[in-house]
Amino acid sequence: MPTPSPHLLIGAITALGTLGNIPAYADQIEELLVVGTHDKRTIDVSEALLISPDTAQLLKKAPGANVNGNGPLTGIPQYRGMYGPRIATALDGKQLASAGPNWMDPPLSYAASSQLQSLEIYRGIVPVSVAQESIGGAIEVHSKRADYTHSSDFQLSGQVMGSAQSINGGAHLDGVLYGANQNHRVKIAAMTEAGDDAEFPGGEITPSEYERQRYDIAYGFRTGQHSIALDYTYTDTGETGTPALAMDIEYFEGDLLSLDYGFALDSDFSVEASIYGSQLDHGMTNYHLRQAPAPDRWRQNIADSDNIGFKLQSTLKDDNGSWELGVDGFSEAHNSDIDNPNNPMFFVVNFNEAERDILGVFLERQQDWAAWSGEFGARYNYVTMDAGKVNASSAMMMPPAQILRDNFNDADRKQTDNNIDLLAKAWYSTSDSTRWYAGIAQKYRSPSYQERYLWMPLQATGGLADGYTYTGNIELDPEVSRQLEFGLDFSNDVFTISPRFFYHRVDDYIQGTPSKVAPAVMLVRMMNASNGSNNPDPLQFNNVDAELYGFDMDWAWSMNEHWSLSGIVNYVRGERRDIDDNLYRIAPPNTSVRLSYLSSNWSAGVESVLYASQDDVSETNSEKETAGYGLVNLSTTWQATSSLNLAAGVDNVFDKEYEDHLGGYNRAENPDIAKGSRLPGYGTNVFVRAVWEF
């Protein structure tokens, strides 16, 4: 990545604003929350005052980013109008495939904020070395680790953090212990958190309770030019509501394991290698947290995901830049079975060994020429997918279900894609304070296993949460996006601004369209007649043409040594090119502004968050419009001693009743919220946090 100018870094580091409610001191400017470079924003999670258990909420602190919310732990990242599997998410450089077919556990949910050091959001076009598929952007989280020392004596350190909030009686407690010397480092960490149903001005959002525990152990060793690191995480999520989905979380249990190796011959040549994997188990029901339906309509879904991946990458620096060359692979396998504990004869084999494998190779060049700098990259991905045979009890009694099953089982389910990503980015400095930017790219994404192998009309759609049932399409083509963006980075001693304009022309965009599969339509209508329901005709995942375009920026003004003002502006439109319609679940235009005061040992801030109405909605998905709204948030921090930091704040100070356009629709019986209406935003939330370091 081109080296940013000192003025740019100083200005971006000064950008407190909406970018964080954190302890920040005039004499410790390096501890501020967001550091800006040309192609990414780094959020220092260890300093961020995030009380929400959903790490994805941190994304709102970066330009262009937002969150699709289906539950308190189920935030799905959105960036410039794309979301879900279109955005690559890596945990310490490792991929993870969610166990839930409806993304109740999006990859970022395995990154508890209290165990993280930072969260990086790549701005705009993502380097080919960063991720295999990054058509919509990339996010990388970095866990807390001990630092090697310069002595053979072991040094111990650690941190204990606790927080509480009023909106749901939520409480969080975690602790981490580090031990390190010049050759070894060890980390042991544990976390627990829980909360009840959240409140809004008109009542409670039921079910929105949550509970989760997490345990980490890590070891690192280095000698000479070599280093190794072994990391293990066990995560255990208990009963957690997802009111925007048809079921709630009964449990998630998972093991994550990784082994990394590094070799540095000198400052100009290095090699990094890693192998990693995870095994995730998931149970969900429609009866244990929300009001249960009639016994014959109880549903339990047991799912699992097995993942394994590797990456080998080398870096070679020269006088004019650097080369990156690498190869990587990732394999995921999914199963999902639905049953009714009241009826042992009922079953649905939803996904049976649905496999998705990617093998990639990439080459990247960073180049500097006087006032110019550039980045060029190429990546080839070989993608293979397959799935086993399926079945269901309804296929033994209902001809439409039988036809769907037999057609799927008789089809050639093995699919292969050959995808090539290309990019070129350039920066031109016209002065010490101003640098212009332009980028162009071609990015591919092959279909997810849900989009290809969902054989029966169901809502296992990766968290779309539009209320429709879907079937997949084995013959889907990969999405290909031609991307163009330009902007500038301006920064002097008092003011920083970084606007970006972007345009994505997406061919073969994967979107649900009215199904032309007669047995699927017939099955939904028969089920309506049998159950007295009124579900709409199903959609099918198909290739369409789309475009996304817009503008985003962050800015900051340092008024004097104590006061600063900063903010973010976001605008994105998503449209179909093949018909006159909008894309589904696109964030409305929004902005946030924060006034901050910094003293030697305390800070305070007031933040205004404004969202416009969203009437550019998808008719295909029967999406509802939402009104605009504004919120006011307050926060303060106090460094009580060198080891103890205290913080407190109030979100939604005026208890504003509003609807978040990305918050989904209520799917549970609730006396305070009509079924099918959009879920309300949280009411006034008073929170406190204490951090003790030793």
C-alpha distances in angstroms, 164 versus 53, 172, 236, 605? 11, 6, 20, 20
pLDDT in tens, 504-547: 999 999 999 999 999 999 999 999 998 888 999 999 999 999 99
Q: Which CATH number fits domain 6-141: 1.10.760.10, 3.40.50.450, 2.170.130.10, 3.40.190.10?
A: 2.170.130.10
Helix (H) or strand (E) holding 563: strand 563-576
Q: How many CB atoms lie within 10 A of CB 318?
A: 10
pTM of the complete model: 0.93
pLDDT in tens, 370-402: 999 999 999 999 999 999 999 999 999 999 999
- Read off φ and ψ for residue 356, nearest 5 degrees: -145, 120
Better-predicted residue by pLDDT, 111 or 611: 611
- Read off φ and ψ for residue 393, nearest 5 degrees: -60, -35
- The pLDDT > 90 percentage for the chain reads 89
Report the pLDDT value the prediction gives residue 49, as an integer from 0 to 100.
72
- Pick from 621, 511, 491: nearest CA to 558: 491
CB of 135 closer than 8 Å to CB of 163: no
For strand 563-576 and strand 590-598, is the pairing parallel, antiparallel, or unpaired?
antiparallel
pLDDT in tens, 128-177: 999 999 999 999 999 989 999 999 999 999 999 999 999 999 999 999 99
Give every CB contact of residue 179 below 8 A, 6+ residues apart in sequence.
146, 154, 155, 156, 185, 186, 187
Report the pLDDT value the prediction gives residue 43, as an integer from 0 to 100.
73
Give every CB contact of residue 651 below 8 A, 6+ residues apart in sequence.
167, 631, 633, 682, 684, 685, 687
- Read off φ and ψ for residue 586, nearest 5 degrees: -100, 135
CA distance 74 to 56: 8
Report the pLDDT value the prediction gives residue 38, as an integer from 0 to 100.
53
Q: The domain 142-693: what is its CATH number?
A: 2.40.170.20
pLDDT in tens, 632-663: 999 999 999 999 999 999 999 999 999 999 99
Report the pLDDT value the prediction gives residue 44, as an integer from 0 to 100.
63
pLDDT in tens, 336-354: 999 999 999 999 999 999 9
Report the pLDDT value the prediction gives residue 18, as an integer from 0 to 100.
34
| Mean pLDDT over each residue of the chain, to the nearest integer | 92
Report the pLDDT value the prediction gives residue 5, as an integer from 0 to 100.
38
* DSSP assignment string, 272-335: EEEEEEEEEEEEEESSSSSPP--GGG--EEEEEEEEEEEEEEEEEEETTEEEEEEEEEEEEEEE
- Read off φ and ψ for residue 85, nearest 5 degrees: -70, -10
Report the pLDDT value the prediction gives residue 247, as an integer from 0 to 100.
98
Where exactly are the structural domains of the chain?
A: 6-141, 142-693
- Is the preceding peptide bond at 207 cis, omega within 30 degrees of 0? yes
| H-type alpha helices, 445-553 | 449-453, 518-531
- Pick from 355, 349, 350, 430: nearest CA to 387: 355
User: How big is the chain, counted in residues?
Assistant: 694
- Read off φ and ψ for residue 433, nearest 5 degrees: -105, -10
Report the pLDDT value the prediction gives residue 417, as an integer from 0 to 100.
98
Better-predicted residue by pLDDT, 663 or 115: 663
Give every CB contact of residue 42 below 8 A, 6+ residues apart in sequence.
34, 35, 36, 118, 119, 120, 121
C-alpha distances in angstroms, 248 versus 211, 243, 345, 669? 13, 7, 23, 13
Helix (H) or strand (E) holding 570: strand 563-576
| H-type alpha helices, 620-672 | none
